[in-house]
Structure 1
Amino acid sequence: MSERSKPFLYVVVCAAGIAGDISKLITAAQVREWGVGVIATPQGLGFIDAQAVEAQTGYPIRSAWRSPGDPRPLPPPDAIAVAPATFNTINKWAAGISDTLALGILCEAYGLGIPTAALPYLNAAQAAHPAYRQSLERLRGMGVLIADYEPHQPKAGGGREKFRWEQAVELLIHKVR
């Protein structure tokens, strides 16, 4: 853990219908005395209430790279949670594609040794694709903690009631000292 009095969690939010419930994960971390900063994928921004998230965390949401010389708006992370982790983000991350700030942070986290957890959220048709299974294997091999999630039926937008936001903190709590 850093020199701060409490650990700091980056929450990477991807574009999925349930992303609007991100406050549940923020609350789960804050109850455990963690500071929280949110990094949204560019498409993920449209799925969250940015003003409410910034009020809850006390930090601006990051979505784009900052200019050289600009101050860093968030403290360095002690851990990272990706929730909801979409099919697209999981596959790009596992492949080392760093075309957004969120993916750049995730790709660097491995080399920096930052504990990371992913809470997948995708439909069964996407989960059936061989690239997804291979990506999960690669991420697990990199030490990423993958939460349990039963993919919902395509076009159903389901799974909201079964999505356990707090599982990200449960997975990471023993990795952050």
Structure 2
Amino acid sequence: MIDFKEIFSVTLILFSVIDILGSIPVVIGILKREGRIQAERATIISALLMVSFLYLGQSILNLFGLDVASFAVAGAIVIFIVAMEMILGITLIKDDPQARGSSSIVPLAFPLIAGAGTLTTILSLRVVYDELNILIGILLNLVFVYIVLRSSSWLERVIGNSGFAVLRRVFGVILLAIGVKIFKTNVFPG
């Protein structure tokens, strides 16, 4: 049953976890490296991951003998690596010439948009909210994500090189803190 209060709550929770605005420096970095952002592909892959995890997440983790905490820690490590690249201005994950264009999947769709934090949040929301309202909340967030990804070239022009360098490091530290929090919460609960 559609409940606007639930939809609003789910949308805000997912918006804060996805934090696409905080990921703008990463998006611009991918744009500079790849030459373009495949907004449609990244959004569709993120949608598939989120909706699949809504219905099959716990079963998929159980199939591999994993728990939500282990999955979250793995995502935190990927976020940590991306954050270190942003802060230090280095490349830890080397470009694979054969994988050109794959950045729509890694790190864009996973772990930045539909990462461990988002997917574990979706599992948690399922306990509290109606599935239809969660689906609508996911859809609303993906529309906003798509708009941000489509405007990445415009954002790069507005922000400029020096603004981008500052934002990249500031958001790198924020992304690092998010990775540390996810790690700490799941390794040292309570």
Work out whether the TM-score is over 0.5. Answer: no
| Shorter-normalised TM range | under 0.3
- Higher CA-based Rg: 2
Which structure is higher in strand share? 1
For CA contacts below 8 A with separation 6 or more, give which structure has more relative contact order: 2
What's the TM-score, normalizing by structure 1?
0.27
